[in-house]
Amino acid sequence: MKTKSTILKAALAVSFGATLAGALPAQAESTSVNGAGALSTTAHLDFSIVIPRFLSFRVGTTGATIDQITFTVPATSIGNSTPIAGTGGDAGGTAANVSVMGNGGQITITEANNGTGGLKHATLADTISYSEITTTSSDAANLGAPTLSNAGGNTSTPVLSSGNVTNRTATWTYAYANTTIPSAGTYGTSADGGRVTYTASMP
Amino acid sequence: MKTPLPRLACIAALATLGAQAATVVINNGGGRLILQIGSTAATINQVDFSVPGANVGDGTPIVSSGVTPADPTCPTNSVLIDAQARSQSSNPRTATLSVDSSAPLTTGTFTIPFTQIAWSSTAPGGGPNACLDAPVTIPSGVFSGAPGQSLISFVTSQRACVCAQFSYLNQSIVSAGTYTGRVTYTLAMP
Protein backbone atom coordinates (compact mmCIF):
# COMPACT_ATOMS: atom_id res chain seq x y z
CA MET A 1 0.00 0.00 0.00
CA LYS A 2 1.37 3.32 -1.03
CA THR A 3 1.22 6.25 1.29
CA LYS A 4 0.99 9.40 -0.57
CA SER A 5 2.26 12.50 1.00
CA THR A 6 1.75 15.89 -0.32
CA ILE A 7 5.00 17.61 -0.81
CA LEU A 8 4.93 21.32 -1.11
CA LYS A 9 7.88 22.66 -2.89
CA ALA A 10 8.72 26.28 -2.68
CA ALA A 11 11.66 27.94 -4.30
CA LEU A 12 12.45 30.91 -2.18
CA ALA A 13 15.23 33.34 -2.97
CA VAL A 14 16.23 35.09 0.19
CA SER A 15 18.52 38.11 0.28
CA PHE A 16 20.85 37.75 3.21
CA GLY A 17 20.37 40.62 5.60
CA ALA A 18 16.70 41.12 4.92
CA THR A 19 15.84 39.63 8.27
CA LEU A 20 17.97 41.95 10.32
CA ALA A 21 16.57 42.63 13.72
CA GLY A 22 15.22 46.14 13.68
CA ALA A 23 15.53 46.59 9.92
CA LEU A 24 15.84 50.27 9.10
CA PRO A 25 13.00 52.01 7.40
CA ALA A 26 13.84 54.05 4.34
CA GLN A 27 14.91 57.46 5.71
CA ALA A 28 16.73 60.37 4.15
CA GLU A 29 20.15 59.79 5.69
CA SER A 30 19.74 56.10 6.26
CA THR A 31 20.46 54.36 2.99
CA SER A 32 20.71 50.77 1.88
CA VAL A 33 21.64 48.96 -1.30
CA ASN A 34 21.81 45.32 -2.22
CA GLY A 35 22.71 43.26 -5.21
CA ALA A 36 25.47 41.36 -6.84
CA GLY A 37 28.76 43.00 -7.68
CA ALA A 38 30.24 46.18 -6.29
CA LEU A 39 28.00 48.19 -3.97
CA SER A 40 28.17 51.74 -2.64
CA THR A 41 25.84 53.96 -0.68
CA THR A 42 26.14 57.46 0.82
CA ALA A 43 24.69 59.54 3.62
CA HIS A 44 25.34 63.11 4.74
CA LEU A 45 25.89 65.15 7.88
CA ASP A 46 25.58 68.93 8.12
CA PHE A 47 27.54 71.27 10.36
CA SER A 48 26.96 74.84 11.57
CA ILE A 49 29.51 77.01 13.42
CA VAL A 50 28.52 80.38 14.85
CA ILE A 51 31.53 82.73 15.16
CA PRO A 52 30.64 85.94 17.03
CA ARG A 53 32.23 89.36 16.52
CA PHE A 54 34.93 90.35 18.97
CA LEU A 55 37.51 93.09 19.44
CA SER A 56 40.57 92.96 21.68
CA PHE A 57 43.03 95.83 22.12
CA ARG A 58 46.05 96.29 24.34
CA VAL A 59 48.61 99.10 24.82
CA GLY A 60 51.16 98.34 27.49
CA THR A 61 50.68 96.13 30.52
CA THR A 62 47.67 93.84 30.36
CA GLY A 63 44.82 94.21 32.79
CA ALA A 64 43.88 97.35 34.65
CA THR A 65 47.42 98.74 35.00
CA ILE A 66 48.06 102.04 33.20
CA ASP A 67 51.73 102.45 32.37
CA GLN A 68 53.40 105.85 32.78
CA ILE A 69 56.16 106.81 30.37
CA THR A 70 58.64 109.19 32.04
CA PHE A 71 61.25 111.36 30.32
CA THR A 72 63.97 113.03 32.34
CA VAL A 73 65.85 115.63 30.32
CA PRO A 74 69.45 116.32 31.37
CA ALA A 75 70.02 119.98 32.06
CA THR A 76 72.76 120.12 29.46
CA SER A 77 70.43 118.78 26.78
CA ILE A 78 67.35 120.92 27.21
CA GLY A 79 66.07 122.09 23.87
CA ASN A 80 68.96 120.76 21.78
CA SER A 81 66.65 118.59 19.64
CA THR A 82 68.36 115.40 20.75
CA PRO A 83 65.49 112.97 21.40
CA ILE A 84 65.24 111.81 24.95
CA ALA A 85 64.46 108.16 25.76
CA GLY A 86 62.62 107.34 28.92
CA THR A 87 61.34 104.63 31.21
CA GLY A 88 58.07 102.96 32.12
CA GLY A 89 57.18 100.91 29.08
CA ASP A 90 56.17 97.28 29.69
CA ALA A 91 58.41 96.22 26.83
CA GLY A 92 61.42 97.96 28.36
CA GLY A 93 62.46 101.63 28.25
CA THR A 94 59.61 103.58 26.71
CA ALA A 95 58.38 100.70 24.55
CA ALA A 96 54.84 99.47 25.03
CA ASN A 97 53.51 96.14 23.82
CA VAL A 98 50.54 96.65 21.54
CA SER A 99 48.11 94.08 20.17
CA VAL A 100 44.85 94.42 18.33
CA MET A 101 42.59 91.51 17.33
CA GLY A 102 39.14 91.49 15.84
CA ASN A 103 37.04 89.75 13.22
CA GLY A 104 34.42 92.25 12.15
CA GLY A 105 36.20 94.35 9.58
CA GLN A 106 38.63 97.29 9.43
CA ILE A 107 39.72 98.52 12.86
CA THR A 108 40.58 102.17 13.50
CA ILE A 109 42.75 103.31 16.41
CA THR A 110 42.18 106.90 17.59
CA GLU A 111 44.31 108.88 20.03
CA ALA A 112 43.01 111.34 22.61
CA ASN A 113 44.26 112.88 25.83
CA ASN A 114 42.88 114.56 28.93
CA GLY A 115 44.70 117.82 28.42
CA THR A 116 43.49 121.10 26.96
CA GLY A 117 46.61 122.14 25.14
CA GLY A 118 49.29 119.60 25.82
CA LEU A 119 51.03 118.35 28.92
CA LYS A 120 50.57 120.99 31.62
CA HIS A 121 53.12 122.15 34.16
CA ALA A 122 52.34 120.99 37.71
CA THR A 123 52.04 124.56 39.04
CA LEU A 124 52.41 126.95 36.13
CA ALA A 125 50.24 127.51 33.09
CA ASP A 126 53.05 126.34 30.82
CA THR A 127 52.49 123.33 28.57
CA ILE A 128 54.54 121.02 26.39
CA SER A 129 52.79 120.15 23.17
CA TYR A 130 52.02 116.55 22.37
CA SER A 131 53.86 117.13 19.13
CA GLU A 132 57.01 116.79 21.24
CA ILE A 133 56.11 113.17 22.01
CA THR A 134 56.98 110.92 19.07
CA THR A 135 55.81 107.36 18.62
CA THR A 136 57.65 104.76 16.54
CA SER A 137 56.08 101.37 15.77
CA SER A 138 58.16 98.22 15.40
CA ASP A 139 55.75 97.28 12.58
CA ALA A 140 54.75 100.58 11.03
CA ALA A 141 53.45 98.88 7.89
CA ASN A 142 50.86 96.75 9.67
CA LEU A 143 50.28 98.35 13.07
CA GLY A 144 51.30 101.97 12.94
CA ALA A 145 50.74 104.30 15.90
CA PRO A 146 48.53 107.37 15.54
CA THR A 147 50.47 110.62 15.93
CA LEU A 148 49.80 112.19 19.31
CA SER A 149 48.28 115.68 19.23
CA ASN A 150 46.91 118.26 21.62
CA ALA A 151 43.46 118.09 20.08
CA GLY A 152 43.39 114.31 19.71
CA GLY A 153 41.61 112.54 16.91
CA ASN A 154 44.52 111.27 14.86
CA THR A 155 44.07 107.71 13.68
CA SER A 156 45.86 104.67 12.41
CA THR A 157 44.36 101.66 10.64
CA PRO A 158 45.94 98.26 11.27
CA VAL A 159 46.19 96.20 8.15
CA LEU A 160 43.67 93.37 7.98
CA SER A 161 45.29 89.93 8.37
CA SER A 162 42.73 88.03 6.26
CA GLY A 163 39.09 88.49 5.39
CA ASN A 164 37.58 90.59 8.16
CA VAL A 165 40.24 89.46 10.64
CA THR A 166 42.86 91.66 12.27
CA ASN A 167 45.54 90.02 14.37
CA ARG A 168 48.49 92.37 14.79
CA THR A 169 51.13 92.95 17.43
CA ALA A 170 53.95 95.46 17.69
CA THR A 171 55.79 97.65 20.18
CA TRP A 172 55.28 101.40 20.20
CA THR A 173 58.31 103.29 21.44
CA TYR A 174 57.92 106.85 22.73
CA ALA A 175 60.52 109.61 22.72
CA TYR A 176 60.61 113.24 23.77
CA ALA A 177 61.66 115.31 20.74
CA ASN A 178 63.23 118.03 22.91
CA THR A 179 62.96 120.81 20.31
CA THR A 180 61.85 123.54 22.76
CA ILE A 181 63.11 125.08 25.98
CA PRO A 182 60.23 124.87 28.47
CA SER A 183 60.12 126.17 32.00
CA ALA A 184 61.70 123.86 34.53
CA GLY A 185 59.35 121.48 36.29
CA THR A 186 57.20 118.41 35.84
CA TYR A 187 54.71 118.31 33.00
CA GLY A 188 51.86 115.90 32.45
CA THR A 189 51.02 112.84 34.58
CA SER A 190 47.43 111.84 34.65
CA ALA A 191 46.53 114.87 36.70
CA ASP A 192 47.84 117.45 34.26
CA GLY A 193 46.83 116.36 30.78
CA GLY A 194 49.38 113.58 30.56
CA ARG A 195 46.99 110.69 30.04
CA VAL A 196 46.66 109.40 26.50
CA THR A 197 43.73 107.18 25.60
CA TYR A 198 43.80 105.00 22.51
CA THR A 199 40.43 103.73 21.28
CA ALA A 200 40.10 100.82 18.85
CA SER A 201 36.81 100.68 16.98
CA MET A 202 35.39 98.15 14.54
CA PRO A 203 32.32 98.57 12.32
CA MET B 1 3.98 -2.95 4.25
CA LYS B 2 4.90 0.38 5.49
CA THR B 3 6.64 2.89 3.26
CA PRO B 4 8.60 5.43 5.27
CA LEU B 5 7.74 9.01 4.56
CA PRO B 6 10.42 10.91 2.69
CA ARG B 7 12.61 13.00 4.90
CA LEU B 8 12.07 16.64 4.31
CA ALA B 9 14.52 19.41 5.11
CA CYS B 10 12.68 22.51 6.22
CA ILE B 11 15.19 25.29 5.93
CA ALA B 12 12.90 28.27 6.46
CA ALA B 13 9.81 28.32 8.65
CA LEU B 14 6.98 29.78 6.65
CA ALA B 15 4.05 31.05 8.59
CA THR B 16 1.69 30.15 5.78
CA LEU B 17 2.47 26.46 6.04
CA GLY B 18 -0.04 24.53 7.90
CA ALA B 19 0.49 20.95 8.78
CA GLN B 20 2.36 20.46 5.53
CA ALA B 21 5.69 19.08 4.63
CA ALA B 22 7.74 21.57 2.68
CA THR B 23 11.00 22.02 0.92
CA VAL B 24 12.38 25.50 0.82
CA VAL B 25 15.33 26.37 -1.32
CA ILE B 26 17.18 29.51 -0.34
CA ASN B 27 19.27 30.71 -3.21
CA ASN B 28 22.38 32.75 -2.65
CA GLY B 29 21.58 36.46 -2.75
CA GLY B 30 23.91 39.40 -3.47
CA GLY B 31 25.61 41.63 -0.97
CA ARG B 32 23.91 44.32 1.06
CA LEU B 33 25.03 47.61 2.55
CA ILE B 34 23.19 49.73 5.11
CA LEU B 35 24.47 53.15 6.16
CA GLN B 36 22.85 55.40 8.76
CA ILE B 37 24.19 58.79 9.85
CA GLY B 38 22.24 60.31 12.72
CA SER B 39 18.70 59.72 13.84
CA THR B 40 16.05 58.01 11.85
CA ALA B 41 14.17 61.22 11.22
CA ALA B 42 13.66 61.91 7.56
CA THR B 43 16.21 64.69 7.33
CA ILE B 44 19.93 65.25 7.18
CA ASN B 45 21.17 65.67 10.75
CA GLN B 46 23.00 68.85 11.72
CA VAL B 47 25.74 69.37 14.30
CA ASP B 48 25.84 72.88 15.79
CA PHE B 49 28.72 74.81 17.38
CA SER B 50 28.64 78.19 19.10
CA VAL B 51 32.02 79.74 19.92
CA PRO B 52 32.15 82.18 22.87
CA GLY B 53 33.48 85.60 21.90
CA ALA B 54 36.28 85.37 24.43
CA ASN B 55 37.53 82.15 22.85
CA VAL B 56 37.53 82.89 19.14
CA GLY B 57 40.68 81.42 17.70
CA ASP B 58 42.40 80.73 21.00
CA GLY B 59 42.76 76.99 20.42
CA THR B 60 40.17 75.95 22.98
CA PRO B 61 38.18 73.08 21.40
CA ILE B 62 34.49 73.82 21.32
CA VAL B 63 32.25 70.78 21.78
CA SER B 64 29.07 70.79 19.74
CA SER B 65 26.17 72.57 21.38
CA GLY B 66 23.51 70.38 19.82
CA VAL B 67 22.56 67.80 17.22
CA THR B 68 19.26 68.04 15.42
CA PRO B 69 17.23 65.99 15.35
CA ALA B 70 18.32 64.26 18.55
CA ASP B 71 19.09 60.57 18.33
CA PRO B 72 17.82 58.50 21.27
CA THR B 73 20.39 55.84 20.50
CA CYS B 74 23.27 58.12 21.40
CA PRO B 75 24.08 60.51 24.25
CA THR B 76 23.20 64.17 23.90
CA ASN B 77 25.20 66.07 21.26
CA SER B 78 26.45 62.98 19.48
CA VAL B 79 25.64 61.38 16.15
CA LEU B 80 25.02 57.72 15.42
CA ILE B 81 27.26 56.35 12.67
CA ASP B 82 26.11 52.85 11.70
CA ALA B 83 27.60 50.92 8.80
CA GLN B 84 26.52 47.38 7.98
CA ALA B 85 27.83 45.11 5.25
CA ARG B 86 26.77 41.61 4.46
CA SER B 87 27.59 38.97 1.90
CA GLN B 88 27.43 35.20 1.54
CA SER B 89 29.51 33.40 4.11
CA SER B 90 31.21 31.56 1.26
CA ASN B 91 32.22 34.89 -0.29
CA PRO B 92 33.52 37.23 2.38
CA ARG B 93 34.11 40.75 1.13
CA THR B 94 35.67 43.89 2.55
CA ALA B 95 33.56 46.98 3.12
CA THR B 96 35.05 50.43 3.69
CA LEU B 97 33.45 53.45 5.30
CA SER B 98 34.96 56.71 4.10
CA VAL B 99 34.08 60.39 4.30
CA ASP B 100 34.45 63.32 1.93
CA SER B 101 35.09 66.60 3.77
CA SER B 102 36.76 68.43 0.88
CA ALA B 103 34.25 71.30 0.66
CA PRO B 104 34.89 73.73 3.54
CA LEU B 105 32.27 75.36 5.73
CA THR B 106 31.41 78.78 4.34
CA THR B 107 29.79 82.07 5.21
CA GLY B 108 29.77 84.37 2.22
CA THR B 109 33.29 84.25 0.86
CA PHE B 110 34.89 83.19 4.15
CA THR B 111 35.70 79.56 4.89
CA ILE B 112 36.63 77.20 7.69
CA PRO B 113 38.22 73.93 6.54
CA PHE B 114 36.80 70.68 7.87
CA THR B 115 40.27 69.95 9.27
CA GLN B 116 39.03 72.07 12.18
CA ILE B 117 36.39 69.45 13.06
CA ALA B 118 37.25 66.36 15.14
CA TRP B 119 35.12 63.60 16.61
CA SER B 120 35.31 61.33 19.62
CA SER B 121 33.77 57.86 19.22
CA THR B 122 31.93 56.06 21.98
CA ALA B 123 29.91 52.87 22.01
CA PRO B 124 26.19 53.41 21.49
CA GLY B 125 23.99 52.73 24.47
CA GLY B 126 21.58 50.34 22.87
CA GLY B 127 18.37 51.63 21.44
CA PRO B 128 16.21 50.43 18.60
CA ASN B 129 19.11 49.62 16.30
CA ALA B 130 20.65 47.23 18.79
CA CYS B 131 24.04 48.67 17.99
CA LEU B 132 25.49 48.08 21.42
CA ASP B 133 27.24 44.87 20.48
CA ALA B 134 28.53 45.90 17.09
CA PRO B 135 31.85 44.07 16.71
CA VAL B 136 33.57 46.86 14.82
CA THR B 137 34.18 50.35 16.12
CA ILE B 138 35.00 53.50 14.19
CA PRO B 139 38.05 55.24 15.67
CA SER B 140 38.01 58.84 16.85
CA GLY B 141 39.64 61.26 14.45
CA VAL B 142 39.76 64.54 12.57
CA PHE B 143 38.36 65.24 9.14
CA SER B 144 41.16 65.39 6.59
CA GLY B 145 39.53 68.04 4.43
CA ALA B 146 39.90 65.70 1.46
CA PRO B 147 37.67 63.23 -0.37
CA GLY B 148 37.87 59.53 0.34
CA GLN B 149 39.18 59.63 3.92
CA SER B 150 39.00 56.01 5.08
CA LEU B 151 37.45 55.61 8.53
CA ILE B 152 37.24 51.85 8.89
CA SER B 153 37.40 48.74 6.76
CA PHE B 154 35.89 45.44 7.84
CA VAL B 155 35.16 42.02 6.45
CA THR B 156 31.56 40.96 5.96
CA SER B 157 29.20 40.25 7.47
CA GLN B 158 29.68 42.75 10.25
CA ARG B 159 28.47 46.05 11.62
CA ALA B 160 30.53 49.11 12.56
CA CYS B 161 28.70 51.45 14.87
CA VAL B 162 29.59 54.34 17.19
CA CYS B 163 28.18 57.51 18.69
CA ALA B 164 30.39 60.39 17.53
CA GLN B 165 30.67 63.64 19.45
CA PHE B 166 32.15 66.44 17.36
CA SER B 167 34.39 69.34 18.40
CA TYR B 168 35.46 72.50 16.60
CA LEU B 169 39.22 72.84 17.13
CA ASN B 170 39.10 76.66 17.02
CA GLN B 171 42.75 77.08 16.05
CA SER B 172 42.43 80.27 14.00
CA ILE B 173 40.74 83.65 14.32
CA VAL B 174 38.14 83.70 11.57
CA SER B 175 35.75 86.33 10.35
CA ALA B 176 32.48 86.57 12.24
CA GLY B 177 29.49 84.78 10.81
CA THR B 178 27.57 81.52 10.70
CA TYR B 179 29.50 78.93 8.75
CA THR B 180 27.72 75.91 7.28
CA GLY B 181 28.96 72.82 5.49
CA ARG B 182 28.25 69.21 4.70
CA VAL B 183 30.27 65.98 4.69
CA THR B 184 29.36 62.86 2.77
CA TYR B 185 29.91 59.38 4.18
CA THR B 186 30.26 56.50 1.72
CA LEU B 187 30.02 52.82 2.50
CA ALA B 188 31.42 50.76 -0.35
CA MET B 189 32.05 47.13 -1.02
CA PRO B 190 33.91 46.39 -4.26
Query: What whole-number distance in Å separates Cα of residue A156 and Cα of residue B23?
Result: 90
Cβ <8 Å between B183 and A44: yes
Q: In terms of pLDDT, which residue wins out, B124 or A81?
A: A81
pLDDT tens digits, B106-123: 999 999 999 999 999 987
Q: Which residues of A touch B185 (CB under 8 A)?
A: 42-45
Q: How far is A59 from chain B (nearest CA, A)?
A: 18
Q: Is the peptide bond before B128 cis (omega within 30 degrees of 0)?
A: no
User: What mean pLDDT is reported for chain A?
Assistant: 86
DSSP states of B103-154 as a string? SPEEETTEEE-GGGEEEEEE-----TT--TT-SB----EE--SSTTEEEEEE
The yes-or-no verdict on residue B145 having pLDDT over 90 is yes
Cβ <8 Å between B44 and A44: yes
Q: In terms of pLDDT, which residue wins out, A36 or A99?
A: A99
Cβ <8 Å between A30 and B157: no
The yes-or-no verdict on residue B146 having pLDDT over 70 is yes
Q: What would the mean pLDDT of A119-146 be, rounded to a whole number?
A: 97
The yes-or-no verdict on residue B5 having pLDDT over 60 is no
> What per-residue confidence (pLDDT) applies to B43?
81
> What per-residue confidence (pLDDT) applies to A202?
97
Cβ <8 Å between B35 and A161: no
Give me the total of CB pairs closer than 8 Å, taking one residue from chain A and one from chain B: 240
pLDDT band at B129 (very low <50, low <70, confident <90, very high): very low
pLDDT band at A68 (very low <50, low <70, confident <90, very high): very high
Q: Which residues of A touch B161 (CB under 8 A)?
A: none
Chain B residue with the nearest C-alpha to that of A36:
B30
Chain A residue with the nearest C-alpha to that of B96:
A40
The yes-or-no verdict on residue B11 having pLDDT over 90 is no
The yes-or-no verdict on residue A1 having pLDDT over 50 is no
The yes-or-no verdict on residue B133 having pLDDT over 80 is no
pLDDT tens digits, B57-83: 999 999 999 998 887 778 889 999 999
Cβ <8 Å between B36 and A43: yes
Cβ <8 Å between A22 and B21: no
Query: What whole-number distance in Å separates Cα of residue A144 and Cα of residue A199?
Result: 14
Cβ <8 Å between A50 and B183: no
pLDDT tens digits, A2-49: 333 332 222 222 222 222 223 333 344 778 888 878 999 999 999 999
B113 Cβ under 8 Å from any chain A Cβ: no
Chain A residue with the nearest C-alpha to that of B116:
A49
Chain A residue with the nearest C-alpha to that of B127:
A22
> What per-residue confidence (pLDDT) applies to A23?
34
Query: What whole-number distance in Å separates Cα of residue B172 and Cα of residue A102?
Result: 12
Contact B73, B80 (CB under 8 A): yes
The yes-or-no verdict on residue B4 having pLDDT over 80 is no
The yes-or-no verdict on residue B151 having pLDDT over 90 is yes
Q: What would the mean pLDDT of B164-187 be, rounded to a whole number?
A: 97
- For B42-45, which contacts have Cβ atoms below 8 Å and span 24 or more sequence positions? B42/A27, B42/A28, B43/A28, B43/A29, B43/B69, B44/A28, B44/A29, B44/A44, B44/A45, B44/A46, B44/B182, B45/A29, B45/A45, B45/A46, B45/B69, B45/B71, B45/B79
Cβ <8 Å between A10 and B22: yes
- Listed by number, the residues of chain A in 3-32 with a beta carbon closer than 8 Å to a beta carbon of chain B are 3, 5-18, 20-22, 24-25, 27-32
Contact B81, B184 (CB under 8 A): no
Determine the residue among A49, A53, A165 to mutate to test chain B binding: the one whose Cβ has the most chain B Cβ atoms within 10 Å: A49
Cβ <8 Å between A43 and B50: no
- Whether the predicted interface score ipTM is above 0.90: no
Q: How far is B184 from chain A (nearest CA, A)?
A: 4
User: What mean pLDDT is reported for chain B?
Assistant: 84
